[in-house]
Amino acid sequence: MQVLSQACINGLRALLYMASQNRQSGYTGIRDMAKDLNISFHFLTKILQVLTQKGILLSYRGPNGGVALNVSPEKLVLLDIVHLFEGQDFFDTCLLGLPGCGEKKPCPVHEFWKHTKAALECEFETTTLAKLGEQIRNGTTRLTD
């Protein structure tokens, strides 16, 4: 069950990586991050560019360059990132892919899928990167296998 695209997953992992470091200043090198997260450097670069263009990250070229969070991890929730990579209508889908599915014309599984989506969206909306970053920092959870 793959819910998120690889781009979104890698973007999330990169952001969590940075949030878990909570360095007060300086930039995180993409090369190092790619190595730590086991993501191809070029692929990660492309994904981070999206986040930079959207204003989530600041980037800096040249030696000691890299990317840095431009938004406080306390104010960044999973839903923001998911919306950014998957689109604003990410939670506005029918499990059976029917275009007209809704309260008026529900598909056979509309009712329970509605609740599943709502629960997931709520969780994504209330989970900050700071919180998950803290869990990584103290070793409760991890970003790599």
For residues 61 and 11, is the Cβ–Cβ distance under 8 A? no
Which tokens belong to 9?
Answer: 């997953």
Residues between 58 and 117 that touch DNA (CB under 7 A): 59-67
DSSP 127: -
Binding mask 99-138 for a copy of itself (x = CB under 8 A): xxx---xxxxxx-x---xx-xx--x---x----x--xx--
Among 21, 36, 37, 45, the residue binding DNA under the rule CB under 7 A is 45
First and final CA of the chain: distance in angstroms? 19
Nearest to 88 by CA among 45, 121, 39, 42: 121
Question: Among a copy of itself, DNA, none, what binds residue 66 when CB lies within 5 to 8 Å by partner kind?
Answer: DNA
- 71 to 100, contacts with a copy of itself by CB under 8 A? 78, 86, 90-91, 93, 95-100
